[in-house]
Amino acid sequence: MRNKIFMLILSMFFTGLVSAQVNNSGTLSGKLIDSATKQPMNLATVSVFKAADTVLVTYRLSIESGEFKVSGLPLDIDLRMIVSYSGYAVTRKEFKLTKDTPLFDAGTIIMTPNHANTLEEVLVYAERPPVVVKKDTIEFNAASFKTLPSALVEDLLKKLPGVQLDADGNITVNGKKVNRIMVDGKDFFGGDPKMATRNLPANLIDKVQVSDDKDELDLNPDKAKADVGQVINLKLKKAIKQGLFGKAYAGKADANRYEAGGIVNMFRDTLQVSVLGFSNNLNKAGFGFNDIRSLGGFDRSGINSISINGNGGLNVNGISFGGTGQGIQQSAGIGFNLNNEFKKGLTLNTQYFYGRTRNDITELENRQQFLGDTILTSRSNRSEVQYAKSHRLGFGLRWKIDTTSRMEFRPTLTVTNTNSDRLTNITTNSSVDGPLNASNNLQAVKGKDLGYGHTLSYFKNFKKKGRNLNLFNNISLNTTNTDQFNNVLNTFFPTGSNTIDQLRDQERANFSTSTNINYAEPLSKDLTWRLGYAMTFFENKDALATYNKDAGSGKYDQLNTILTNHLERTSWRNNISSGLNYRYKKLSVTATVNFLWLDLNNRYVSIGQKLDQHFNYIIPGANISWKEFNLSYNANVNPPGISDIQPVADNTNPLYINKGNPDLQPALSHGFNLNFFKNVTQKQLFISAYLGGNISNNGVVRSREIAANGVQTTMPVNADGIHNFYTNFYFNKQYKVNQTFSFQVGTGYNLNYTRNFLIINSKKSYVKNIDFGPFVRGGINWNDKIEWNISYNRGVNNAYYESSNFRDLKVERQNINTDLVIRVPKKFVWEMTLDHRYNSQTAPGVQKTVALLNAGLTYLFMKDDKAQLKFSVSDLLNQNRSVFRFSAENYITDRQVNILQRYFMLTFTYNIRSFGAAGKGAGGKVGGRQSLFFF
């Protein structure tokens, strides 16, 4: 009830504030017509300035009918309207709004072409429009979007219409992802968006230009326009020839918690260097994802694997930068990144990283399986310590051969060593027969991993427009050696107990190479023919040897032949494709046909068996794009993984044994996607919808046999009729009431439907799973001094079984997230985040409610606020738990893992901002969910 009253009061206050803002403002309207064609003019810029000092009040873009409406204008002030459009003469008109006449109709305005002068020559500097649309480029005048003195490019981009930044700093413009950011037309630290957005001060920027990514179009010429990424070019006020920026931080908390680190970036002409180091025991990355990602533009220097957990933990290509994995973690790392542009179009990137982590884990898992009238409950407690050390060396070479061709080569080398010691206690009980078994499982695991990979690509555009040739080659080599010692005591009720004491030695080597050639030939202005060939070769080795411990010598030297096998697989995959693409105005239609030859050769060395499989497929494909709609269809063939065909059982958990199946067939899947996105820039409205599906035959599912003593054995089998359909919808509307006050609202849903096949104790059933998650979001911003955001998410997961042998399941979840930032008085920043999760259905002993409340106060000092002193508290209520609940097959699982709880911390941060004569140094805009504990 208290929550409802609070929300009602807050809603009344919010509504009253908005109403007060609206009632004290006026509106300008009119219509724009081309003098030559007499057609209405779309996307012309209508700017309103204060007539006395030419300070921008606000602006709007005209809609397709040529009409415009500018609301939220101040009363009793002389105003000037400036109408601008690239290639047309500028129109000016002054007016004044009062409480008696709050509306001004400018009537029909005739726009006259003016090809003799550019738009900049016609306008005085102070009257430059906030937005100009030039064919395929949108240009924003940075000076028209006010930011705080300490603001970065990221803060500037957030104010631009149609530009959105998510929690990780990823950028979209009008619903399209931004692939890279350039500075004055050149790559800035590899073109990675976050390098510029999180490091360059906003007050250095003159213009922000947005256009389609031409490199992506070269790579995928038939790609739907809705799916083509964007490129942002930052035009600087003065050319930056050299600069130095970064940060250093150190913090101390109670209970011996600490953090420290530094990151320095230097660029001088064509040379760019970044160096970092960090250490902490706070269960988080030494740097945020955005800091690591921004080091030298990793997107263009070999990243192929990035993972982020809910606590902000980061893993890049297998190198942990802290906060990854489960439990409580200590992490440390060092690294450098270098970019250099040579003459004759050569660009080199070099990077090295070393990461070290330790995870202390305590986990409780409760799983309920429903078998007719019987409930089988398995409960496990795990204590584990994990260690990992990783090295990564990467290079990237890009050569722009001439204006029509370029080549790229990116090799990487990764070395990882892991160790873990864990103790797991498991009990299984039946609702009918009572206790079935108990297990005490002690394991020690040592692993070494060596990986190499490279990509080589060549792009060629010919003189004839639309004719191009692309070649790609990829190589991946990975070897993994794992020694796992298992010491297990199993007790079965009422029969007795047994023990296992063994060494499981597994060596895996995976090699793959693929070569793709694509050629495009325009047959006419609207019709293009595509021809492609792709060859892929795989070689996989899985050498598994299990040794029992000799009671006399104490050595693991007694080979267990039943649990030993050497498996080798080679595979050739050849694909020839041909297609036609037809384009007419906003319609694009592509039809393709693929001829696939798949050869699989499996050799079971230890048992002297060989199995060869040969498959031929004719696979169609299609893509249709029209305006904001895109529809595609494709088919694919996926052979089973090598672990699925390994016949030797994995008994490292003797109560849950996994076996492979050498008789598995490749899965054939048919997929489709229908998406729609609409961004109405003039109304700051964004709508997106997506519908996708996949139907598989010979899909891989795991059959399960449950013995009377509770031991479960699984094996993969093929099954037809595996379905998966997914749809989502998102609506977001931004309201800018006046210069200082804005708010936004959003809503949507995610819906996932799956139809899978279930086999348990030879009882079969299709299971239909529906997961529905609606959400609502909202937020306000008052002059960047008060920012408040809130979101509510609810989820319902239902499983329905066609057979009466299984019981229908239901899982519910809900959570509320909110954050508040207050930047008053000057030099102080107050901030708070609250994540509240609730689940009423958790198993006994598993926490139902989790309320994670973080708060902090930052004091800014020194010149340009370069120094920050912050006092923060994590998990103020001391309730934080890592709790999950999910359903799959015929069971519901509750999982609770230990996590770092309440601590108080004092941290000092110094921001380095040095850009020569180009501009004063500046720190980032302090405060907000992503900066609360990531400095």
Q: DSSP letters of 128-176?
A: --SEEEETTEEEEEGGGS---TT-BHHHHHHTSTTEEE-TT--EEETTE
Q: H or E element: which one contains 86?
A: none
Give me the DSSP letters along 831-887. EEEEEEEE-TTPPTTS-SEEEEEEEEEEEEESGGG-EEEEEEEESTTS---EEEEEE
- Verify cis geometry, omega within 30 degrees of 0, for the bond prior to 640: no
Report the alpha-carbon distance of residue 198 to residue 155 in Å, rounded: 9
Predicted local confidence at residue 25, as pLDDT: 78
- Verify cis geometry, omega within 30 degrees of 0, for the bond prior to 494: yes
pTM of the prediction? 0.75
- Cα–chain center distance at 597: 34
Please name the amino acid found at residue 98.
T
Predicted local confidence at residue 50, as pLDDT: 86
Predicted local confidence at residue 187, as pLDDT: 65
Please name the amino acid found at residue 552.
G
Quick check: 371 and 706 in contact, CB under 8 A? Answer: yes
Dihedrals φ, ψ of 23, to 5°? -70, -15
Report the alpha-carbon distance of residue 63 to residue 224 in Å, rounded: 24
Q: What does the domain layout of the chain look like in residue ranges?
A: 1-135, 148-240
Angle value at C-alpha 252, between 249 and 255, nearest 5 degrees: 150
Predicted local confidence at residue 238, as pLDDT: 64
Dihedrals φ, ψ of 3, to 5°? -65, -40
Give Dmax (Cα) for the chain. Answer: 103
Report the alpha-carbon distance of residue 297 to residue 53 in Å, rounded: 42
Query: Which CATH number is correct for 1-135, 2.60.40.10, 3.90.1150.10, 1.20.1260.10, 1.10.490.10?
Result: 2.60.40.10
Quick check: 182 and 205 in contact, CB under 8 A? Answer: no
Token readout for 99 is: 């409480």
Which of 200, 181, 198, 177 has the alpha carbon at shortest distance from 190?
A: 181
Which of 706, 889, 872 has the alpha carbon at shortest distance from 807?
A: 889
CATH no. of 148-240: 2.170.130.10
CB atoms within 10 A of CB 241: 12
CB atoms within 10 A of CB 76: 9
Bridge-based pairing state of the strands 103-111 and 26-34: parallel
Q: Tell me the average confidence (pLDDT) per consecutive run of 10 residues in the chain, 935 residues long.
A: 48 50 75 90 86 79 87 87 86 90 92 67 62 77 72 79 68 78 69 69 81 72 67 75 78 92 79 85 57 35 35 40 63 86 85 89 91 91 93 89 91 93 95 93 95 94 91 95 94 90 94 94 93 94 93 91 92 94 90 94 84 91 89 90 88 89 91 84 79 93 92 93 93 78 88 94 92 92 85 91 87 88 89 86 75 91 87 88 80 87 92 57 47 28
Which of 80, 79, 56, 60 has the alpha carbon at shortest distance from 70?
A: 60
Give me the DSSP letters along 901-924. --EEEEEEEEEEEE-TTS-----P
CA end-to-end span of the chain: 37
